[in-house]
Amino acid sequence: MSICPRCAAQFTCAMADQTGQPCWCTKLPIEPVLPIYPAVANDQSLCFCPLCMQEWQQTKSLPEQS
């Protein structure tokens, strides 16, 4: 099991947990790379859980392009 660094919920990250199946996040739309949470120096997953990822996607904002 993985632990969300944002809310501490346990969830399955197929990549980190090596389930041999595609992870749920591979079905999400491709987004520009943006830091979503400060890196945590431990062996836990740094992925957000599905709920936190959905919330982040709804509230994120990209810098204005000049």
- How high is the mean pLDDT in each 10-residue block of the chain (66 residues)? 88 86 84 57 66 81 50
Which amino acid belongs to residue 25?
Answer: C
**Which residues make beta-bridge pairs with 11?**
2
Angle, alpha carbons 60-35-43 (nearest 5°): 125
Domain that holds residue 9: 1-26
Picking from 36, 43, 48, 42, the residue whose alpha carbon sits closest to that of residue 8 is: 48
- 38 occurs within a structural domain: no
Provide the number of structural domains found in the chain: 1
**Residue 51 forms part of a structural domain:** no
**How far apart, in whole angstroms, are the C-alpha atoms of residue 45 and residue 23?**
13
For the chain, the C-alpha Rg in angstroms (whole number) is 13
Residue 45 domain flag: no
pLDDT at 41: 47
Predicted TM-score (pTM) of the model is 0.62
Query: Can you give the pLDDT at residue 56?
Result: 79
